[in-house]
Amino acid sequence: MTQRHRLVAPLAAVLAGSALASTATADEVNLYSARHYDSDEKLYQAFTEQTGIKVNLLEGDSDQLIERIQREGVASPADVMITVDAGRLWRAEQDGIFQSVESDELSERLPEAMRHPEGKWFGFSQRVRAIFYNPENVDPSEITSYEDLTDSRWEGEVCIRSSNNIYNQSLLASIIDHHGAEGAEEWAQGIVDNMARDPEGGDTDQIKAVAAGECDLAVANHYYYVRLLESEEAADREAAEKVGILFPNQDDRGIHVNVGGAGVVEGAPNRENAVRFLEFLASDEAQEIFAAGNYEFPVVEGVKMSETLESWGEFKKDDLNVSILGENNPEAIRIFDRVGWR
């Protein structure tokens, strides 16, 4: 079984007697994870069954985990940090959390776009930022790109999260790369001009707002939609069935892609086990668990996906190296501030 702890106490607190306070051993790896999906437990169990290496897990949000590792310093037991979104991985990288890793297996298994150029971290699951629409009021042929969302015909019809949401920051970071800062600011201003309401709620709330008629268009990560479709609650399924999904920019760069990723922590006491764990995450077995557990797209081609994801067929994804999303994050935040995206 995985040794599991949730980081809910103040960061200065020490988990006395915790397995995570142990020194390096030949049969364990210490994971600091900002992923909070119960399905990930299957990943850890499968890794242990395959390798005999016990997984010790500490959970918290990304900022908590980064601060904890920094406070622990050279005495930190952390071997691997796992989080979601390239923007958060970049922040951890900038704070000196990760060390470079060279692995032929990771280089061969993972697409170049999913690997940090210096091996500081790697993407192991993909999430795409889709456009959702009300099929009663929107002809999907009218929306073929993120850029179309800024057309004046959609004034008062766009629902989207706040600018402090990392998913939106990374989307804008990708637009900076493709259109430059000036073009990205024009896009952000166009979205603000077309907002149906001040940003509020999470991705699920944006999709439900379309279903409820509060707006005709919304932007959200794809798996929130699948969760509604697969929900045990009839109201969730009914909401999802009222909404259509679009994969934008198929005629040019492809839909924006972000990642769930991980890297080996600087000073990891169980470095060899940590690298083995990352290599396991790139295996077909682990990739199928990512795809089945949280409806994320695998990064390895040919891996079995959920029935819903399979039903969407093939579509073009932006092959921008995800490290650029982090590099452009500060400029994205400045643009959001300038255009008044709350």
Q: What is the mean pLDDT of the chain?
A: 92
Is there a single domain that holds both residue 248 and residue 212? Answer: yes
Give pLDDT tens digits for 31-67. Answer: 999 987 777 899 999 999 999 999 999 999 999 999 9
Is there a single domain that holds both residue 28 and residue 78? Answer: yes
Residue 215 lies in a domain: yes
**What is the per-residue burial (b if ≥16 Cβ within 10 Å, else e) of 215-247?**
bbbbbbbbbbbbbbeeeeeeebeebbeebbbbb
Tokens describing residue 38? 């119960």
Is there a single domain that holds both residue 131 and residue 244? Answer: yes
305-313's contacts with Cβ under 8 Å and 24+ in sequence apart are 306/226, 308/226, 308/229, 308/230, 309/226, 312/245, 312/247
Residue 292 lies in a domain: yes
Q: What is the CATH number of the domain that holds 328?
A: 3.40.190.10
Is there a single domain that holds both residue 58 and residue 119? Answer: yes
Give pLDDT tens digits for 284-312. Answer: 999 998 888 789 999 999 998 988 999 99
Residue 315 lies in a domain: no
- Category of 254 on φ-ψ map: left (φ > 0), alpha (ψ -120 to 50) or beta: left
Residues 6 or more apart whose Cβ sits within 8 Å of residue 119: 100, 101, 102, 103, 106
Residue 314 lies in a domain: no
Proportion of the chain in helix, strand, coil states, percent, rounded to 5: 45, 15, 40
Full-model pTM: 0.89
Opening angle at CA 39, ends 35 and 40, nearest 5: 50
Is there a single domain that holds both residue 141 and residue 191? Answer: yes
Residue 70 lies in a domain: yes
Is there a single domain that holds both residue 9 and residue 40? Answer: yes
Task: Say how many domains are in the chain.
Answer: 2
Residue 317 lies in a domain: no
Is there a single domain that holds both residue 285 and residue 168? Answer: no
Which residues does the chain have with pLDDT short of 70? 1-26
Is there a single domain that holds both residue 136 and residue 190? Answer: yes
Domain that holds residue 39: 3-126+257-305
Tell me how far apart the alpha carbons of residues 325 and 258 are, in angstroms, rounded to a whole number: 9
What is residue 153's DSSP assignment? G
| Residue of 43, 103, 25, 96 whose CA lies nearest to 67 | 96
